[in-house]
Amino acid sequence: MSELPQVKKVERVCLESDSEIWEQYVEKLKTAKRILITPGQNSSVSEKLKKSIRSFFEKYNSAIAIDYMSNIDEDYAINIFMKRICKTCMNGERIYSPKVLLGITLLFIVSGSMFLFTYSFRILRYLLVGLWIVLAFIKRSVILEKIKAILGVKRGSDK
């Protein structure tokens, strides 16, 4: 039987932590050249919290490392998780090309339309088709943006 490797324990400091623990970290942070903030996974990051993090970042010249579930999508934050995974596991390659993504989307649209035409009530069928066309017309700018974004991914990776 082999031994498990040594691990470094990560202590979490939160509002409920003792003031002694907070004081220890305050003294340690005073000697740091730069502070790294790693927000956890949180589904409810308010604008007030984002402003507080932004002002802390600017005031103390700190680094903010986020992951895809932090719900903090700011220009100053560094998304370390996804960059690391893409660099080490994917070698910079994309899972799907834009053509494949558009093909899958069109396949679902066409198959959904085919099932719609098999519906027996004519008036409801045409009402649904009309509604689909009206929604596509109303959301045309969003649809075109998404298509451009998908095609832009390919152009960006070719450079």
pLDDT given for residue 123 in this prediction: 81
Residue with tokens 């498990």: 4
Give the domain ranges of the chain.
19-89, 98-158
Residue with tokens 């990776």: 157
Q: H-type helices in 5-62, by residue range?
A: 19-30, 47-60
pLDDT band at 149 (very low <50, low <70, confident <90, very high): confident
pLDDT tens by residue, 43-66: 577 888 888 888 888 888 787 777
pLDDT given for residue 159 in this prediction: 41
Distances (CA, A) of 81 to 12, 13, 86: 19, 22, 9
Relative orientation angle of helices 140-158 and 122-138, to the nearest 10 degrees: 60
DSSP state of 33: S
Residue 29 near residue 61 (C-beta atoms within 8 A): no
DSSP state of 79: E
Pairing state of beta strands 78-79 and 36-37? Answer: unpaired
